[in-house]
Amino acid sequence: MADVTLRVVSKMFGRGRRAVSAVDRVTLEVADREFVVLLGPSGCGKTTTLRIVAGLESPTGGSVSIGGRVVDDVSPKDRDVALVFQSFALYPHMTVAANLGFGLKMRGTPKVEINRRVSDVADMLGIADLLDRRPDGLSGGQQQRVALGRAVIRRPAVYLFDEPLANLDAPLRVQMRQKIKRMHREFGMTAIYVTHDQQEAMSLADRIAVMRNGRIEQIGRPQEVYRRPANRFVAGFVGSPPMSFLDVRIRRSGGEVSVLLGDCCWPLPKGMADGLAGGSDEPLVMGVRPESVRLSFENNDEGRLLPMQVEMVELVGDRCDVHGRLPTGQLLVARAGAADGIEEGAHVWAIFDMDGVTFFERSECGRNVMPEVVGAGERVS
Amino acid sequence: MVKRSWRESGVAFALPWMVGMVTLTLVPMAVSLTLSFARWDGLGFDSIGWVGSAHYERLWPWSGGESVDPRAVRALTNTVAYSLFAVSLNLMAAMVLALLLNRRLRGMVVFRTVFFLPYLLSSVATVMMWSWLFNPRFGLVNRGLRVVCDFLAMWPGLDGFATIELPGWLYSEAGCMPTLVLMHVWLCGGPMLVFLAALQRVPMSLYEAAALDGAGRWRRFWHVTMPQLSPAVLFNLVIGLIFAMQTFDRAYLLYNRSQNDGLLFYMLYLYRIAFETPFRIGFASAMAWVLFVVIAVMVVPVLIVGRRVVFYAVRR
Amino acid sequence: MIGCGRRHTRAVYLLLTVIAIIALIPFVWSVSTSLKSLEDAYAFPPSLTVDDVRWSNYGDVFEKLPFGRFLLNSAVIALAAVTGAVVTSSMAGYALARLPMRGKRVWFVLLVASLMLPSQVLLIPHFLMYESLGWVGTYKPLIVPAWLGGGAFNVFLFRQYFRSIAMDVEEAAVLDGATRWQFYRFVLMPMAKPVVVAVAVLSLLYHWQAFLNPLLYLSDFRKYPVSLGLRMYQTMAGTWVNLLMAASLIAVVPMVIVFFVGFRVFDAGRRGD
């Protein structure tokens, strides 16, 4: 096991004016036995970052070290890393056993040892009865297990995963997710895991690094990223359904700080009000998670409830996501119980749990203005 | 950087081919071109004498005078005529057979094997079989024709058939070319397999869509099958022409026996010029380059037209 | 195909059968002749049926001339050449398809150009070169070129196939610790089995049937391959036409076997994809 450090790593594709920056000055430290997920939309540079760690791409700037050793001049096979591919990348002409053992064979491991470890790994992954089959005769889930086994069998210092579950059906994805999580716990593996699925990231990661345009927008524990997103992009990308953004104004009168939206006005809790920077009457964006919105059919608290017209109700098991429109024309998503009886076209009243809201600048990058979020959007130059 | 040693490995893999490219293609090309401007018997370098473009003038029928080599011109016309007829008929036969075979019926593999079988014979065996089959006196073909003629002669007014002279086939100056063309048609198994492979790649959904659009059998052939088949047609045509223009084995084997100038193919004449006394290496080299140009003149237009007409399916 | 009615099917069978019979006539006539005595073969009028079947002709083929030797010679030349062609053309194809190397574009243009260059332009320089190397009279001119690229067409075929293989597999192998050579040897070539078989079978056919090059470079008849050996039944002391036909038929048998096996492997390989 080993830690991984990326120092100001950049990658440009092409040359001169046509050059495209895929990874832009990324700095990341993955501790020994830590599970870090690189999360972002497609084209954000997360896979390129992973491939740089693997040594399949050479960075145009910066340096990578694994286990304290700078590996910039070390070929991929000598980096002691294993990569699980999205496409599985199994050798089509080899049996499952040969696929699993290939890496050991190439490294000159004695045959007896290879056989022993192949059967160990096959038992662990529940593919012992498939050892003589070829990949094209296996289901997607089985192929995925073989691909996983091919990485595990070498006991590498670092595991790299490139969207390994993207090609699987939804139920299988959940099952394999748990398998990977268990493996992480059992072996104490150091892992970097690339995905665009925020739910996968949430459930697997010790820390999540959210990427956009080749940069890391925020890195932190899943709860941190969820509760205190560094900016509007992270807030919008993490969480499903996504956070709603409402244009509000701040009013300061005496020691009181309150939020104004349309005809409504809410005082902020003491702790939050202290930290909020900026003057009075400042325009901000308030971010609200669906679970921080409560809906009722009656306006029982004049001046604090927002009228909302329900446009769409999505049922998710015992609860539902209610998509509605406020009088100001802004959209709001709320979570309600399935039994609450909210129907499309209904008029309801919304109120916010003010402990759960966040405030962003009303600018392009939409930085979070809550002071607890240190290092948000910070970049080393 | 990371993969310096890999960067070199490309050359390591290609090295044998690169060596071959230089020593077996580029250098010989230069040598051949140089020799085509010289007179040389190949017996020691002192005897090389430069003649400029004289060899090429001998091969240019319109250059006038006695310098033109009439046999070379005859050989070239023979070869071009043979190539055009033999290749086009060969491809037509191959396509018809491929279309007939392209269905899921029992026994198609057997037919495929039968039609492909001739392709496996070596040229020597093919020529031996055909010259025996078409032997004017002892061959099966003329025996069959004689029986038919005798039968026809029994009818009133047709008694001329009894004394009709049967063709000499490969043994006559007029008959040898048509017989060789026929033999080439018999050897259509190779192109047939190429067509068959192309046909089997045509997606069934295209035929179904065309059928739903109300296209009949004939229209389906022209609008679905032919476009999908066109790359294979182009491939077979170009390869077929290039090989036919270089026909040697058959001509050599038959000519040696009969000295029949109807069989004087260009490559055969070139071989005799170069490797039989008096060895005229320079002239033979010039002949080779002329043949190269003639082939290019035939093939390049086909490729240019083909590029426009041929439909290449977008893969993936 | 659509709309294959029963009557239509029957017509197709009929047509195919007629064509097949015509296509087989040369073979039938050869078989018939190969079983006749020499006098019967030259009897007039000729007949398709054989009164006095002589299987011994097939033994005589090997006794009158060293036909076994010819077959062996052909096998040696063809196997040596085919091995070289498959190995070196696949290596070059791999390099051109996916390996970084200097001047790759120029080499590729040369490859395509040499694809179109007819061999007769090179015939004389090759002969002069092999003669000055003292290779005339040996198998070297027939085998060595195959080990130096093995034909532009084969290189091209391999290049096209290797370009179609997903990059992931190569990267997986690299991370598994395979060198380029090991990847080529243990992953790429086994994956390319259909193309390997196609190239091997086609170049085997080419070398088995080769006529002009052996004719140019071999003079001692004990070194002759089958193609040249066959001709000797015709030129030696009048024509033993019955033996000639028998030998021609024997000579095609190895190729028929090779093609059958080749088809099997090729079809299986394609279905496996």
Q: Give the CATH number, domain containing residue A199.
A: 3.40.50.300
C161/chain B closest Cα distance in angstroms: 13
Looking at the structure, tell me whether residues A23 and A160 fall in a common domain: yes
**Which domains can be identified in chain B, with CATH numbers?**
36-136+172-309 (1.10.3720.10)
Using 50, 70 and 90 to split pLDDT, how confident is the model at B312? Answer: low
Region of A68 (left: φ > 0; alpha: ψ -120 to 50; beta: rest) is left
- Please provide the average confidence, as pLDDT, over all residues in chain A: 89
Minimal CA–CA distance to B238: which of C187, C138, C153?
C153
- Structural domain including A275 reads 236-377
For chains B and C, CB pairs below 8 A equal 241
Percent of chain A with pLDDT over 70: 96
Name A6's bridge partners: A28, A64
ipTM field: 0.86
Q: Is this model's pTM higher than 0.90 or not?
A: no
Across the interface, of A83, A89, A106, the residue whose CB is closest to C182 is A106
Domain boundary among A235, A260, A294: A235
Domain boundary among A235, A270, A286: A235
**10 Å Cβ neighbour count for B199?**
19
**Pair B32, C124: CB distance under 8 Å:** yes
CA atoms within 13 A on the CB side of A353: 11
Cis omega (within 30 of 0) on the bond before A110? Answer: no
C147/B125 Cβ within 8 A:
no
Query: What is the C-alpha separation between A315 and A240, in angstroms, rounded?
Result: 13
Using 50, 70 and 90 to split pLDDT, how confident is the model at B65? Answer: low
Q: Where are the domains of chain C?
A: 2-54, 67-271
Query: What is the C-alpha separation between B66 and B72, in angstroms, rounded?
Result: 13
Question: What CATH number has the domain bearing residue A263?
Answer: 2.40.50.140
C58/chain B closest Cα distance in angstroms: 16
Query: What pLDDT, in 10s, does the model give residues A80-122?
Result: 999 999 999 999 999 999 999 999 999 999 999 999 999 999 9
Inform me whether the C-beta atom of residue A379 falls under 8 Å from chain C C-beta atoms. no
Looking at the structure, tell me whether residues A112 and A225 fall in a common domain: yes
Q: Using the predicted structure, report yes or no on whether residue B303 has a pLDDT greater than 90.
A: no
**Number of domains making up chain A:** 2
- The residue whose two tokens read 């939020």 is A259
DSSP conformational letter for B23: I
- The residue whose two tokens read 């003149």 is B297
For chains A and C, CB pairs below 8 A equal 63
Phi, psi of A83 (to 5 degrees): -120, 130
Mean pLDDT of A31-44: 94
Query: What pLDDT, in 10s, does the model give residues B126-172?
Result: 998 898 899 888 888 988 888 888 888 888 887 777 778 888 888 88
A74/B3 Cβ within 8 A:
no
Query: What pLDDT, in 10s, does the model give residues B174-231?
Result: 888 999 999 999 999 999 999 998 888 888 888 888 888 877 778 888 888 888 888 8
C175/A103 Cβ within 8 A:
yes
**Pair B126, B187: CB distance under 8 Å:** yes
Across the interface, of B14, B25, B118, the residue whose CB is closest to C117 is B25
Residues of C in contact with A154 (CB under 8 A): 176
Across the interface, of A85, A92, A106, the residue whose CB is closest to C177 is A106
Across the interface, of B28, B97, B124, the residue whose CB is closest to C125 is B28
Query: What is the C-alpha separation between C221 and C146, in angstroms, rounded?
Result: 23
Q: Using the predicted structure, report yes or no on whether residue C270 has a pLDDT greater than 60.
A: no
HEC profile of chain C: CCCCCHHHHHHHHHHHHHHHHHHHHHHHHHHHHHCCCHHHHCCCCCCCCCCCCCCHHHHHHHHHCCHHHHHHHHHHHHHHHHHHHHHHHHHHHHHHHHCCCCCHHHHHHHHHHHHHCCCHHHHHHHHHHHHHCCCCCCCHHHHHHHHCCCCHHHHHHHHHHHHHCCHHHHHHHHHCCCCHHHHHHHHHHHHCHHHHHHHHHHHHHHHHHCCHHHHHHCCCHHHCCHHHHHHHHHHCCCCCHHHHHHHHHHHHHHHHHHHHHHHHHHHHHHHHC
- Among B3, B6, B19, B25, pick the best mutation site for testing chain C contact (most C Cβ within 10 A): B25
Residue of B nearest to C210 (CA): B122
Of the given ranges (A51-60, A231-240, A265-274), which has the lowest mean pLDDT? A265-274
Inform me whether the C-beta atom of residue B3 falls under 8 Å from chain A C-beta atoms. yes
Looking at the structure, tell me whether residues A148 and A179 fall in a common domain: yes
Q: Report the alpha-carbon angle C88-C93-C98, nearest 5.
A: 135
Residues of A in contact with C193 (CB under 8 A): 93
Domain boundary among A205, A235, A265: A235
Name A352's bridge partners: A293
Cis omega (within 30 of 0) on the bond before C45? Answer: yes
Q: Which amino acid is at A268?
A: L
Architecture label for domain C67-271: Orthogonal Bundle (1.10)
Looking at the structure, tell me whether residues A136 and A267 fall in a common domain: no
- Give how far Cα C39 sits from Cα of B281, C64, C242, Å: 45, 17, 10
Query: What pLDDT, in 10s, does the model give residues C84-117?
Result: 999 999 999 999 998 888 888 899 999 988 887 8
